[in-house]
Amino acid sequence: GAVVSQHPSRVICKSGTSVKIECRSLDFQATTMFWYRQFPKKSLMLMATSNEGSKATYEQGVEKDKFLINHASLTLSTLTVTSAHPEDSSFYICSAPRGFADNEQFFGPGTRLTVL
């Protein structure tokens, strides 16, 4: 199957700093990518839809200025958590559909963010 990578897999940062998480589609082009957040033992909550060449679409309740999304190319989307606080600690997962006919969304392995 198609491969989606995320970097870093784990990050620990101090409160107030910014953290950038990368999501790459390794063997296909993704004009759209999705960013999810998962709290411990909870479901995946969609944060935003990342669109190549245009602004991201954020879900209700997600702060655009806090979670900056940039879809720089057809294979790369980045999520930057700005001025991170301990409550931003979570598991962040990206996904990308490979094509309109593809029933599967390919998920990255996730990034575990811990804000001290």
CB of 100 to other proteins, least distance (A): 8
How far, in Å, CA of 53 to CA of 116, rounded? 34
Interface residues toward other proteins, by CB under 8 A: 1, 32, 34, 42-46, 49, 91, 93, 95, 97, 100, 103-107, 109-110, 112
Question: What is the residue-wise DSSP string for 32-74?
Answer: EEEEEEE-TTS-EEEEEEEETTS--EEPTT--TTTEEEEEEET
**Residue 15 Ramachandran class (φ > 0 left, ψ -120 to 50 alpha, else beta):** beta
CB of 47 to other proteins, least distance (A): 10
* Closer residue to other proteins (CB): 82 or 105: 105
CB of 83 to other proteins, least distance (A): 25
* Closer residue to other proteins (CB): 16 or 99: 99
